[in-house]
Amino acid sequence: MKLIGSTTSPFARRIRIWALKNNADIQFENLDIFSPADRQVMINNNPARKIPILVDNQHTITDSNTIIRYLLNKNKLPSLSWQHENLLTTINACNDSLVEVLLCQRSGFDTHSDKLFFNLQNERIVETLSYLNNHLTDNEFNSCEYLSISLYCLLDWIYFRELIDLTPFNKLIEFHQAYNLQEVAKQTDPRI
């Protein structure tokens, strides 16, 4: 199996960490999705032009959510419960909004200006982080390895891209600090 992604993508990193923790034999192909040659590799494998993409013989699976479902199924591991799916949706919503904000910043927009699009993203980011901060110690959260992985990848990417101040979310900060000590975190650090 091959995972097409980039070292900086928080969505690709989820799958890389899951693979390391579960001894799944997945080769990693690191792309610069904005360079013409690498972009063509992404386009050839995903009409939506996003990473990550998993290639497993005749199957090409796109989107980290579908990829993890595929991997859990292939490895005969339990799928995520509906509660887990809801928490994952919350993490995804935050991460997706932050990707939009970053792309807007790179396009020269002032993402703190009082505009509907930015207000909606900024509101969603704060509210989802606040919700996750309050529910981090719930059983639903702790009983799912993939949720911890996904949350860690989101938080570490926020630090890496210096996107927002996490100071109000003390439980998220503690969680990030603890997870950072894990070998899998070091092995997939986007800064290296």
What is the binding site for ligand GSH (CB under 6 A)?
9-11, 33, 49-52, 63-65, 99
8 A C-beta contact, residue 16 and residue 3: yes
- Which residue number, 109 or 114, has a Cβ lying nearer to ligand GSH? 109
Minimum CB–partner distance for residue 100 and ligand GSH (Å) = 8
* CB nearer to ligand GSH: pick between 52 and 152: 52
Distance CA 11, CA 102 (A): 15
Looking at the Cβ atoms of 64 and 188, the one nearer to ligand GSH is: 64
Closer by beta carbon to ligand GSH, 59 or else 171? 59
Q: How far is the CB of 167 from ligand GSH (least distance, A)?
A: 24
With beta carbons less than 8 A apart as the criterion, state whether 18 and 149 touch: yes
Cis peptide before 52 (omega within 30 of 0): yes
Q: Tell me how far, at minimum, the Cβ of 67 lies from ligand GSH, in Å.
A: 7
CA distance 192 to 188: 8
Three-point CA angle 65, 69, 72, nearest 5°: 135
> Closest approach of Cβ 49 to ligand GSH, in Å?
6
